[in-house]
Amino acid sequence: MIKHLWQTHRLAVIAFAVALSALVYFGGKTITSAIYWMDPAHQEQPLAGWMTPRYVAQSYKLPREFLIEALFLDPDAPPRRISLDTIAQQNGVSLADLQTRVDAAAAEHQADRAAHGADGHEQDETE
């Protein structure tokens, strides 16, 4: 059967193999990422110099707009891979100072979520 398909529909078999390979690759990445971030050891980790802003955003579940000010990022610049050590050196602060700023941003985000509810709408006190 496979020999017949290969002889008569070679392009379709190749396309199917490529699609199946992509499914396995991206599905595997999605599953491993989900498992990694669901581990409590990776949630709200203390900052380390090797971390990137994206890693911090994932760990603290913070949207980009809450990290921009906390990590001295340019809001108009495209995202780039830069370590927290580099950010701290460029801005003359310590990693502990960055931790304080990230903690404040996380608290602000939590307060914003509480004020707007889980669905993003203002909470009405009469409800």
* Domain spans in the chain, listed from the N-terminal domain onward: 2-38, 45-116
**Torsion angle, alpha carbons of 75, 91, 83, 76, to 10:** 10
Average pLDDT of 8-36? Answer: 95
Whether the model clears a pTM of 0.75, i.e. scores above it, the answer is: no
Per-residue pLDDT tens digits for 95-120: 999 999 999 999 999 998 888 875 55
The answer to whether 83 and 49 are in contact (CB under 8 A) is yes
Residues with Cβ < 8 Å from 56, sequence gap 6 or more?
47, 62, 67, 71, 84, 102
CA–CA separation, 61 and 99 (whole Å): 15
